[in-house]
Structure 1
Amino acid sequence: MKNASLTLFNKTCLALVIAGVAVQAAADGRIEGQIKATDKGIALEGAKVRIKELNREAVSQRDGRFVFADIKPGQYTLETSYIGADNIARAIVVEDLKTTRANFQLQGVSGLVENVIVIGQAAGINKSLNKQRSADNIITAVSADAIGQFPDTNVSESLQRLPGLSIERDQGEGRYVRVRGMSPDYNAVTINGVGVPGPDADRRAVALDVIPSDLLENLTVTKSLTPDMDANSLGGSIDVQSLSAFDRDGFFYQLTAESSFDENTEEYSPKVAATASNQFSIGNGEKNVGIAFGVSSFKRKFGSDNVETGGAWDFEDGEAGLEELEQRDYRITRERSGVTLNLDYKPTDNTDLYWRNLYSEYTDSEIRLANVIEFFEEDDEGERDGTSVAVGEFNSAEVQRELKDRTETQKILSTSLGGQTRLDNWTVDYRVAYSKSSEDEPQNIAGAVFKIDDDVIADEAFDVSYSNSKKISLSAPAEFYQSASYKLDEVELSSANTNDESTAVNLDFTRELELGNNAAQLKFGAKHQARNKDNDVTVWASEEFLGDTSLSAFSGSPVDYKLGQFGNQIDADAVKAAIDTLEDNPEESVIGDYDITEDTSAAYVMGRIDIDNWRLLTGVRYENTDFTADGFSYNSEDEIATAQRFSNSDDYFLPALHIRYSVDDKTQVRAAWTNSVVRPGFAQLSPGTLIEGDEKEFGNPDLKSLESSNLDLGIEHYPGVASVISAFVFYKDIKNFVYDVDLGKTPGYEAFDKAQTFANGKTAELFGIELAASKQFTQLPAPWDGLLIGGNATFVDSTAEIGGYDEGEFIARDIPMPSQSDTSANLMVGYESDLISMRLSANYKSNYLLEVLDTLDANKDAYVDDQIQLDFSLRYYVTESIKLHFEALNLTDEVYYSYVNTRNYNAQYERYGATYKLGITFMQF
């Protein structure tokens, strides 16, 4: 069946190629123009322009430009359609071998304030909806105006407001983005259309908290890929667009200063941001050069309080007992800075050149203090074995005080040089791009361990108990919290450096043509991308120290721990100064090192045709990936590291079909069938191998890529200003799902009691429904005509088969896809007038599978509990150019809670408190 489908699509694409070459230009007239907002000169993207007599349609691009090629000489009527603006009809005359210019200045819908299509909440929603409505495929967009209405710190938090999207947080801040229930590792990220490699050593996911939201102009999430797009996303592809000088006419600038207050640590944090753009004239051109620049800097101090078990519960005999737990206190400083520089040059009317650059840097400094409690029991010979303890039961426990002090810096650089040339009915796009992501963690304290001092506590143990199996509270004697009870036992230092570089070249050709009396388009092109990722880890350990090793010698003030009593701070500099000798730890150093190369070559052909109210787009993409992985195998018994190399090559044919039917100008139905492919994670593909006696832990470079066949069907209705009602259903059939597996005692691994690695599962499926609606109540009398209400909800159900071996027998079971919430939703209530704009927003996601701790035991599956966060933002316009803003995040102090078995059993409980922001913005446009 698959081969038959490929044959059909190949024949279709070949026919389109032949038609494109054979069709003669029956007419040489051409229509070009721009769509802008009246007076303000802001380019409007996504406006529809229609030639009434020919039923041909064009869509304005980012700079507002639209083009009709191959138009017979004659008189025509051009009609515009843009949500939030009055429609305009204009008569024009097309002459043979000439270009007719037709520019439009759109005004806000009659009866509304003019800035309904320029600034504010409604304007931001309108820009996004117009881009979404006019796209050939299924997308969701958000503009800089809309981003500014939410109290979001970074790009990922801005995206969580969109239908079908949710985020994974780190220390309360948004970090990774999930699309339609798919893990962040299965989604692609691009900056100005250029693929971005991930800075994390183990993952493909791009941590979007690295990028400041102040430097953005648009965010677009593509949910159904077209053949001219990279196929490396199962959920969706996220494009981050930075500022361009041709987004608006003339000189523009925006300056923002802000201070935020963290309720948990009572720390204040500063932020400044500036963006500017202008257009210039050189040679004989008129405003043919544009320069846009932006810079942002934010230093945030905050923290969290945590108590966790890591799922260390014993559920045997129908009772639950806890084996160990940790109290943790975090003190964090995060610095997020970025700069963007974009140059545009239009040397002729038919050629646009650009150079786009974005650089961001994110430094995360974290001090983590922990009390680690492990319950034990002694046998008749005095030997200690771990045991489980019920709630409220006192039991002997070994206790450690631990310190982790590390700073890591992640960087993302994206630069691209390219352009577009229009030659009669042909358009040629060309680009060369370079991207690099890195993560650098200089030598740090990976773990300093203080154990009970047997000179102070004779039996090196405390009798402790705990209450509440969710928000665990500890009961311990006074000596538990006293520094004199502990002494320094071991220090581990580590450093790590990861680099991920990508160079890409692509060339695309587009031909406008007619098939019969129907407007059509043929597009084809090729791309080559070379990607290299390396990781270097070094670990040292010390058990020999100088001077007094009592914790008292390293202690500071008491820890401000809001979940109970804790103990004192630990001075990291004093710990480093006490180290006498360091020894390399080759086991952890060697197996973490790898060098992976992935070179991908791609070619595609696709065609589009308009038949009455139908738009059909079909085509096929071919991709070939050459893979090479270098790493090491280390045997701890003979202490020998052996170099390893793996390589393979894979080919993929990925057909697609997109259908859009316009019921009328406000309502359209969409359907899509697409195919995509994603490589497994780098930790999964790494050839690193560690052998310790009868145990083996190793990556699997021979893993197959995840392949997904995707179906989408939906309807969109745009009733008016800032208003939409949409409903979509989607289905994904996924092959080669990757999971952890223990192959010990199976064929090939008979010598190992445990052989932990990764394997491809047979199948995984995901089905979902995505609903969205927004409404500005313009029909209400003033002042209620400024009321806006919006919401969206996504319901997803998935299943994936995993399995493991029990005494040589393979046992399979089903799990939901990791990171997939069954329900995610947003609700927004907003209001705006000439002076104020305010918005109250709630974000919700249901529980989701975090980690499979034991392949064979579902009771050990760790889940993250439901989360709902309430945020508020207020903007007051002192003048048209000056505005004040106040923001409040996490008003209800929502906690992060994960559990095993049922919600009663803690895996992790962490609270962050609320954050408040106050700032001022100066703007000129």
Structure 2
Amino acid sequence: MKHFIARPTKLALVCSTLLLSPTIFAGSLVGKVTGANQLKLYKGAKVTLVELSKSVVTDQTGEYRFDNLDAGEYTLVVDYLGAESQTFKVQIEQDGTIKQNLTMASSDTMEDVVVYAQRAGQAGALNMQKNADSIKSIVSADAIGQFPDQNVSEALQRLPGMFIERDQGEGRFVGIRGIDPNLNNVTINGLNVPSPESGVRSVALDVIPSQLVGSLEVSKSVTPDMDASAIGGSIEVKSLSGFDRAQQSISFSAQMAQNKLRDETSPKVAASYTDIFNDEFAIAGALSYSERQFGSDNIESNGGDELEQRHYSITRERFGAAVNLDYRPDFNNQYYLRTLYSAFSDDEYRLSNTFVFDDETEIERASKDRGETQEITSITAGAEHLIDSWKVEYQLGYSLASEENPNALYYTIKAEELAFSSDMQGAIPQIEQSSQVHDLSQYELDEVSNESEDSEDEESSLKLDLTKTLQLNGHEFEVKVGTQYRQREKQAVADIYIYSGGDVFDSFAAENYAVSNMDWSLGEFGPGLDKMALRQHFTDNRAALADSYQSSESKAESKGASYSINEDIFAAYAMTRFSIDKLSLVAGVRYEKTDFSTSGYKVDVVENEETDFEGTLNSVWQAERDYAKWLPSINVRYEFSPQVIARAAYTQTLARPKFEDVAAFQIIESTTEEDEGVFVTEREAEAGNPELKPYFSDNFDLSIEYYPGNIGVLSAGYFYKDIENFIIVADVAGTADWQDYDEVFQPINGENATLSGFELAWVKSFDSGLLLAANATVSDSAATTFFDGELIKTQLPNQSDTTANFTLGYETDSLSMRLTSVYKSRNLEEIDDGMLRYEDAHTQFDFSGKYYVNQHTHIYFNAININDEPMYHYFDEKNRNAQYETYGRTFELGFSWTSF
């Protein structure tokens, strides 16, 4: 903590010194670009000051600004996709700041932009993309509600090169160019938001109320003033400001959804409000609540001698709230406060049947009853000042993410030598079962466990940026320097009690807790176990279970899942931005230093017949290290014409290991038994690796974009990444640290990896109201890693060769329809017991239809996963099941009302 106090204090002194006695810069021109009715703000419009050949791009509020102007008359030209270029004259006085709003005249084309909500959202996003300094893809706030997406992460999957990882069929984590989501950077209003889940860095973007999103920006090439932890790219969620809308706005929506697999109905409501007071103070707020009752059917195998059937019943609740405040007392000073609160609860009841095909056949029927709650609180405060020729920006951020999973209850009953068989073939292996398999009187209670797990991820940050505009040989260029400090602490604590054997187990009659045969779509499941009856049984017998407590196993599981990690990250950068005629360039270097420490346990579970010892040995394991890196980057933009733009970029980025990979924990199982008069010891282990190096990547990008007029773009790009130190989980038994071990699974750094590919995109809106959008990213990766004592070549873990999207839309004054599809090719997950485990290709179709009752109200219908696409994983060959899970179709019916 002392480091966190020291550095921010110095930065605060710098800020306060620079802000003393601010003077207004002479000859400034500011204003907004608006529609004829003053209700539409033109975001991403290019405003050119002809006499000086200077151009700026309007921000989220539609504002532009020129400084350092001599007195005189100037000509401004506004270019905006979907509108004709328009020219304005403005007079600048000798000093002071002149406000000049630019009102775009109406035209047939512009009327289309205003009338068609679909096209309006696209126009703003494409204009911001076209005029960006780096390679970006953007989703505007208007466009988020135009697709049949359930949350923010699913809205991002429509962009070129994007894909999502799903949890129980819902999109949660977002990846870029086929790369693992943990290797990308996600910020909300410039703040890295921690993850409530114990093992990962990636943040599930379904926690953000979409009503408060101003835009979603995906940067595939970074600039030095951005966080460098972006191997695939950086996702910036910009929340809505009250100044982003030209007038007071209120919105409300409500819907009911039905999942066909479980035939459950679920509600969702959301509301937002924005307003501006005296042109100085603005407020934006949003609330959302949803409850989703659904389930999934699943069958898994180990690829050899074990099959498991799973039946899930799930209730998920989400509550999101956000309030954003902005204060702009004059043209040269802005202050803001951004807040976000999200609560996510996941109540899951899972029934499973595990069939073991061995010399002695065995069946385990089990239940899992747990209620998990995740919370995220994020607060960001900052300001921007113009002082003479300096722009000073500073931001203070605090985030806290937590996950609680109290008193999860697991019951396992077991039977042996009952008749069943399977050929283990196909995506959905079938099991032939005798009638005795479904007779719960044949089963005995084998194990009960009561588990509580908590994790907490806390981050504080401070950022300072200084920008100055200079003149050189008649050309204006910008110099920007800055620094950032982030302090992050991740903790995971587990408290696990495992019970087996004793009077309570002997007296348990499984048939008394049976429920009727379960409705399971993948075959024959048999009877289930009653959730409430099992919970009551545990409550009634908790004291008596003390005699059945398995001390060694319980302590091993508890200590092995408990650890803490601290990261202090200091960054500083310098960069320049300038334009000469048609050429624009952003170049600079960023320095990042990471101080890392972790604390956990080495747990040795010992069964030794030779010494007659059975127990658990625990010792504290602490490790620390630091590393630093200089990361140069350059982004070049060349405008062949107003319609044709080429871009090139070279950047260096990094990615820190996942917390579960780098945490200090070891669980070692050591068994010593007599074999023909000789005592033989077998050791197996699972361990984290605090010595893991971060990923480093050299990234090269080339792209060309063609904007044919109206609202549309045709683009093509090539990318190449040379990645050092990629991480994979492997069996490292027999290596230097693990001599005389039979099996040890541990994350290790691979030797090197490369990723290259092409990205193609086409978007076109027609005057008839028809919309076509298609994009595809085709990539190839090669990775060299150490496994089983030798180097092997694979592809990058969790990297998909092809991702693609297609949208067919049609919209009139009163009707909007959209059919969409997303495709993600197979990817390598891990090496599991000598087999390659793959996630199979995934194709999903969705539909959205809207009917506009009037200008303010519309009714909508969404159909999600129309083709009932499952999730499928397999070992080596496609007919060798690892996991098959189906979720069913979901239908949503709702209405939305807005005041604007």
Asked if these proteins are the same fold (TM beyond 0.5), I'd say: yes
Question: Partner of 2:345 in structure 1?
Answer: 363
Question: Partner of 1:885 in structure 2?
Answer: 860
Deviation at 1:745, TM superposition (A): 2.6
Matches within 5 A, 1:286-685: 287-310=279-302, 312-313=303-304, 323-377=305-359, 384=360, 397-445=361-409, 447-452=410-415, 460-466=417-423, 468-543=425-500, 544=502, 545=504, 548-579=507-538, 580-582=544-546, 583=549, 584=551, 585-637=554-606, 639-685=616-662
Distance 1:269 1:214 in 2: 19
Distance 1:757 1:79 in 2: 60
Question: Partner of 1:728 in structure 2?
Answer: 717
CA contact (8 A) 1:658 1:670 kept: yes
Question: Partner of 2:612 in structure 1?
Answer: none
Question: Partner of 1:72 in structure 2?
Answer: 70
Question: Partner of 1:158 in structure 2?
Answer: 155
Question: Partner of 2:849 in structure 1?
Answer: 874
Q: Which moved more, 1:525-534 or 1:480-489?
A: 480-489
Distance 1:118 1:485 in 2: 68
How many aligned residue pairs are there?
845
Q: Which moved more, 1:812-821 or 1:567-576?
A: 567-576
Structure 1 residue aligned with 2:97, among 99, 120, 136? 99
Matched letter for residue 163 of structure 2: S
Question: Partner of 2:32 in structure 1?
Answer: 34
Q: Name structure 2 gaps, 5 residues minimum.
A: 1-22, 539-543, 607-614, 671-682
Distance 1:764 1:99 in 2: 53
Matched letter for residue 633 of structure 2: A
Deviation at 1:598, TM superposition (A): 0.3
Deviation at 1:895, TM superposition (A): 1.2
Structure 2 residue aligned with 1:850, among 820, 824, 829? 829
Matched letter for residue 442 of structure 1: P
CA contact (8 A) 1:739 1:761 kept: yes
Deviation at 1:210, TM superposition (A): 2.8
Question: Partner of 1:760 in structure 2?
Answer: 749
Distance 1:259 1:239 in 2: 30
Structure 1 residue aligned with 2:797, among 815, 818, 823? 818
- 2:52 counterpart SS class: coil
Deviation at 1:71, TM superposition (A): 1.8
Matched letter for residue 664 of structure 2: P
Question: Partner of 2:6 in structure 1?
Answer: none
Distance 1:612 1:566, change over 3 A: same
Deviation at 1:744, TM superposition (A): 2.3
Deviation at 1:115, TM superposition (A): 5.6
Deviation at 1:697, TM superposition (A): 2.5
Distance 1:581 1:522, change over 3 A: same
- 1:112 counterpart SS class: helix
- 1:472 counterpart SS class: coil
Matched letter for residue 280 of structure 2: N
- 2:60 counterpart SS class: coil
Q: Deviations over 1:838-862 (max 9, x none)?
A: 11111111111122214xx4xx111
- 2:357 counterpart SS class: strand
Distance 1:696 1:868 in 2: 38
CA contact (8 A) 2:457 2:489 kept: yes
Distance 1:755 1:277 in 2: 56
Matched letter for residue 428 of structure 1: V
Question: Partner of 1:705 in structure 2?
Answer: 694
Distance 2:420 2:336 in 1: 69
CA contact (8 A) 2:82 2:110 kept: no
Distance 2:423 2:860 in 1: 45
CA contact (8 A) 2:728 2:797 kept: no
Distance 1:497 1:572 in 2: 23
Q: Is 1:180 matched with 2:180?
A: no
Q: Deviations over 1:363-401 (max 9, x none)?
A: 111111111101122xxxxxx4xxxxxxxxxxxx31111
Matched letter for residue 63 of structure 1: T
Matches within 5 A, 1:83-94: 83-94=81-92
Distance 2:741 2:839 in 1: 33
- 2:545 counterpart SS class: coil
Matched letter for residue 534 of structure 2: V
- 2:854 counterpart SS class: coil
- 2:292 counterpart SS class: strand
Q: Which moved more, 1:179-188 or 1:90-99?
A: 90-99
CA contact (8 A) 2:209 2:321 kept: no
CA contact (8 A) 2:418 2:434 kept: no
CA contact (8 A) 2:645 2:704 kept: yes
Distance 1:267 1:747 in 2: 55
Matched letter for residue 558 of structure 1: N
Question: Partner of 1:62 in structure 2?
Answer: 60
CA contact (8 A) 1:770 1:794 kept: yes
Structure 2 residue aligned with 1:830, among 809, 814, 838? 809
Structure 1 residue aligned with 2:781, among 794, 798, 813? 798
CA contact (8 A) 1:107 1:117 kept: no
Deviation at 1:113, TM superposition (A): 6.1
CA contact (8 A) 2:70 2:92 kept: yes
Distance 1:829 1:731, change over 3 A: same
- 2:125 counterpart SS class: helix
Q: Which moved more, 1:752-761 or 1:894-903?
A: 752-761
Distance 2:336 2:67 in 1: 23
TM-score by length of 2: 0.92
- 2:431 counterpart SS class: strand
CA contact (8 A) 1:535 1:592 kept: yes
Distance 1:662 1:852 in 2: 47
Q: Is 1:44 matched with 2:42?
A: yes
Q: Is 1:145 matched with 2:142?
A: yes
CA contact (8 A) 2:587 2:635 kept: yes
Q: Deviations over 1:408-448 (max 9, x none)?
A: 11222211011111123211111101112211111102x31
- 1:574 counterpart SS class: helix
- 1:473 counterpart SS class: coil
CA contact (8 A) 2:426 2:878 kept: no
Distance 1:230 1:52, change over 3 A: same
Structure 1 residue aligned with 2:221, among 207, 221, 224? 224
Distance 1:525 1:776 in 2: 41
Q: Percent identity?
A: 40
CA contact (8 A) 1:214 1:273 kept: yes
TM-score by length of 1: 0.89
Matched letter for residue 488 of structure 1: L
Matched letter for residue 770 of structure 2: L
Deviation at 1:540, TM superposition (A): 0.7
Distance 2:897 2:589 in 1: 48
Distance 1:210 1:466, change over 3 A: farther
Distance 2:59 2:603 in 1: 55
Distance 2:131 2:400 in 1: 33
CA contact (8 A) 1:465 1:476 kept: no
CA contact (8 A) 1:153 1:212 kept: no
Distance 1:463 1:61, change over 3 A: closer
Q: Is 1:910 matched with 2:885?
A: yes
Distance 2:687 2:296 in 1: 34
Distance 1:614 1:326 in 2: 60
Matches within 5 A, 1:257-296: 257-281=254-278, 287-296=279-288
Structure 1 residue aligned with 2:740, among 735, 742, 751? 751
Q: Which moved more, 1:575-584 or 1:96-105?
A: 575-584
Q: Is 1:202 matched with 2:171?
A: no
- 1:566 counterpart SS class: coil
Q: Is 1:193 matched with 2:150?
A: no
Question: Partner of 1:7 in structure 2?
Answer: none
CA contact (8 A) 1:40 1:118 kept: no
Distance 2:880 2:332 in 1: 65
Deviation at 1:572, TM superposition (A): 2.7
CA contact (8 A) 1:117 1:126 kept: no
Distance 2:444 2:505 in 1: 12
